[in-house]
Chain A
Amino acid sequence: MTTTERPARLNSLHVFAGLLVVALVLRSRITEALAAPVVRTVATVFVAICVQALPFLALGVLVSGAIAAFVSPAALRRVLPRRPGAAVPVAGLAGLALPGCECASVPVARRLIGQGVPEAAALAFLLAAPAVNPVVLVATAVAFPGEPGMVLARAAGSLATACVMGWLWQRAGRAEWIAARVRSPAHAGGGRWAVFAESARHDLVSAGGLLVVGALVAAVLSVLVPTSWTVGLADRWLLAVLVMAVLAVVLALCSEADAFVAASLSALPLVPRLVFLVVGPAVDVKLVALQAGTFGRGFAARFAPATFVVAVLCGVAAGVLTLGVR
């Protein structure tokens, strides 16, 4: 909307208040409409994904706000190697320091680009942070007590995915694919604390809405496309790899929990389950929604499919090298 508004015009606050009133009045109708078992299951999974992810998003926007307000571009340049090619793996390893799941890393990567970090390095951080952090690796070790190789293979596969995507971006990526707003530094008309509060609030509101889209899609898909897909794949290794990679995208599990789901699918070979763990934190429906909204649709349309292919290949390579073909 670019037209100037008259004071008496209906604005979003009125619409919002009206929506709340209508919802309260129609409450029993809405509850009735949601009474079908399948709808209730979808609603529960939807709320569960939101409730589980929002605290991580809140942590992420506090970090991203702090980066925007307190970390100067000069300081970041001092920390990262000068050559972008060397900055990529360093940024990937820096993911170790953010013990959250994938929702936290999107706003952080955005503000890193805003503060002048090379895009390739920020994207490597974006992909590595949810997968290569101590909490996720410990969870993987707990879920696969008899297979210590899984932890190593997961870390290697995810770090390789992050680095390959970073280098790929450096080689083939174009700056105009990322929405211009990402590169503009934060402004709030005030001191550093004002910048902190305003960037955190802005990132939370815009990323939160996208997280909700992702959670809704993931909830519907995970109920309609259940894990019974995996039945009968026990001795079809390659097909199992592909099915598990697609499942990782549609289920959109938290990276701290996906190892337990993978462990429970014990009829499947090990490498397809590793691919599930490498693909999930790098590309899934809720992450694509977050990326599309944060970096622009043009970015997500190119980045997500490329990441999917790279993650599958890196997952298979890491799995075959550490675990063998099984």
Chain B
Amino acid sequence: MRRETQHAVLFLLGGALVRIAADETFLRYVRPAQRWWLIGAGVVMIGLAVVATVRDVRGRTVPGADGHDHRTGPSPWLLVLPVLVVALVAPPALGADAVARQPTTAPADLAAPALPPGPAELGIGEAVARSIDGTLGDGRDLTVTGFLAHRDGDVVVARLTISCCAADARPHTVRLRGPGLQGAAALPVDTWVRVRGTVVAQAAKDNRWSPDLEVAELTVVAPPDDPYEL
């Protein structure tokens, strides 16, 4: 690949990183804390591309006689791929497909303080963890927010937990039950909903870490900026 093409690819790649970090797009792929890392990396790439271009134009570098950089091989071409995928498609955050594909996994140990009695609104990862360690308790009025997914014939409200990037996502789910289930089953998967109901935490033990929720109220909501939980 010619040097000037390498510079162009590097410039675009840096631009793509800055671009997705400039709004909320990057939250589909990584944790919010990585925003400044992405901007920094983008600036480094743009800087290296600009410096190299300026030096080449001034004739300061000594490239091969035909302008090729033989040592890099064909691999620089592949850098075009993430640029194109981000610029053209900007794939959405992981959703129902990823949930259906993976078995749900155990939640992290919370070691969190006991919940005060009464209605609670929790993240799904926390709701699952508290179902397992007993701090949620059966029969509590619980509200959770997540996207709808189907798994093994059940309708679940799911949230994916990531610690670094979407490649390490682990699904946590709450299974919907009761007469209110019809409304949820009629909605397409990946619809974001806020569900209030009565929790059957005991079910989590028999159902691979997925407590049951007897649906009392279900509202469709807008997707949050950060679709993942930590």
Q: Which A residues fall within an 8 A CB radius of B?
A: 1, 4-5, 11-13, 15-16, 19, 23-24, 27, 30-31, 34, 37-38, 40-41, 43-52, 54-55, 57-59, 62, 139, 143, 145-146, 181, 187-190, 194, 197-198, 200-202, 204-206, 208-210, 212-213, 215-216, 218-219, 222-223, 226-228, 231, 251-254, 256-258, 260-261, 263-267, 293
* Inter-chain contact A254/B164, CB cutoff 8 Å: yes
Residues from chain A with a CB closer than 8 A to the CB of B5 are 11-13, 15-16
Interface pair A41/B101, CB less than 8 Å apart: yes
> In the complex, A59 Cα to B37 Cα: how many Å?
10
CA distance A1 to B111 in the complex (A): 62
Distance, CA A139 to CA B103, complexed state (A): 23
Is the CB–CB distance between B165 and A13 below 8 Å? no
A44 contacts B102, C-beta separation under 8 Å:
no
B112 CB, nearest partner CB in chain A, Å: 12
Is the C-beta of B192 less than 8 angstroms from some C-beta in chain A?
no
B102 near A206 with CB under 8 A, answer: no
Name the A residues within 8 Å of B106 (CB-CB): 263-267
Alpha-carbon distance A206/B10, docked complex (angstroms): 11
The B contact surface, by secondary structure, is helix
CB-CB < 8 A to B72: which residues of A?
Answer: 202, 205-206, 209
How long is the Cα–Cα vector from A51 to B27 in the complex, in angstroms? Answer: 11
Q: A252-B167, A257-B168, A264-B108 are in contact. Are A37 and B71 (CB under 8 A)?
A: no
**Contacts from B to A (Cβ < 8 Å):** 1-2, 4-6, 8-10, 13, 17, 20, 26, 28-30, 34, 37-38, 40-41, 44-45, 48-49, 51-52, 55, 60-62, 65-69, 71-82, 84-89, 91-94, 96-98, 101-103, 105-109, 111, 161-168, 170
**Pair B44/A257 contact, Cβ less than 8 Å:** no
Q: Which residue from chain B places its CB closest to the CB of A42 in the assembled complex?
A: B91
Q: Which residues of A contact B76 (CB under 8 A)?
A: 205-206, 208-209
B9 neighbours in A (Cβ, 8 Å): 16, 205
Partner of B52, one of A19, A198, A293: A198
Partner of B164, one of A19, A31, A44, A52: A52
The list of the 8 closest CB pairs from A to B, nearest first, reads A209-B75, A257-B164, A52-B165, A48-B166, A37-B97, A264-B105, A266-B106, A55-B41
The answer to whether A12 and B2 touch across the interface, beta carbons within 8 angstroms, is: yes
**Which of B65, B103, B109 makes the CB contact (< 8 A) with A227?**
B103
Residue of B nearest to A15 (CB): B5
A22 smallest CB distance to B (angstroms): 10
Q: How far is the CB of B12 from chain A (nearest CB, A)?
A: 8
**Chain B min CB distance to A98 (Å):** 15
